[in-house]
A = this chain, B = another copy of it.
Amino acid sequence: MDEKKIIALFKKVKAGKISTHEAFLKLRHLPYEDLGFAKVDHHRLMRTGFPEVIFCPGKRIEQIVAIFKSLSRRNKNVLLTRADEKIFGKIKKINRRAAYNKVAGAVYVLEKKPAKSGFISVVCAGTADLPVAEEAAVTAAVFGSCVERVYDVGVAGLHRLLDSFDRIARSRCIIVIAGMDGVLPSVVGGLVSCPVIAVPTSVGYGANFNGIAPLLTMLNSCAPNVSVVNINNGFGAGYIASLIHKMSLCKN
């Protein structure tokens, strides 16, 4: 039961063939898998178009392995975020195709090929923002997008950004990651015609307040095409960018 079936279901609802309540009931039928310590939400793929992701911190390694196995049975691509090498070792033994992005701290299986049409860009201000940028890039790739990386183009040397301008400007969606003063999304947003997802990072010192300064900068951006996710939330940015990219691929 995938997204098409769900849309068919709603068409029936609209046509009056089944009631709203019956439709919702059907949606609720597909059970989650109860592992005791967690309820793995296979349902999510249907509801949201994307499988659940394993956020590793605070979970024991056996729990991670169990959730991974459960997800693997139903998904081609699987993503584990904030994972260390030890976790990667365990996952690698279970699935030889698992790969590890060390900078992002992400383990992933990428068996389903990305969309051929269009791409998203991941732009970051400084080298210290790379872990968040890579998390965004890996996430978008796992969820089916081609990704262009444009790194170390902060406004302190504006010409570096302008040099990459033509690469960036054709993106379906641009993720812009910055710590310190967080000005890069405003500058990029003013130059392009696609949605910009801004990610503040906790990189900086003093009155940066662990990312509050760039978060506020981004929320107050003069460029109206900028929306914002949580501090260091590379995963969320990659996920949303991929959603927007996917939207642009729909046959309307």
Could you list which residues of chain A lie within 8 angstroms of chain B, going by C-beta atoms? Answer: 3, 6-7, 10, 13-14, 20-21, 23-25, 27-28, 32, 37-39, 41, 43-44, 47-50, 53, 57-59, 63, 117-118, 125-128, 152-160, 162-163, 165-166, 169-170, 172-173, 180-183, 186-187, 189-195, 197, 200, 202-209, 211-233, 235-237, 239-240, 243-244, 247-250, 252
Contact = CB atoms under 8 A, between A and B. Distances in A.
A190 B156 contact: yes
Residue from A128, A152, A189 having most chain B Cβ neighbours under 10 A: A152
A39 B160 CA distance: 8
Contact of A217 (B38, B183, B243): B183
A112 to B, nearest CB: 17
A47 B236 contact: no
A135 to B, nearest CB: 12
A71 to B, nearest CB: 14
A96 B11 CA distance: 40
B218 A181 contact: yes
Given A206-B231, A225-B240, A227-B229, 10 more contacts: A10-B170, A44-B156, A48-B192, A58-B127, A155-B190, A156-B186, A213-B217, A217-B217, A227-B227, A227-B240
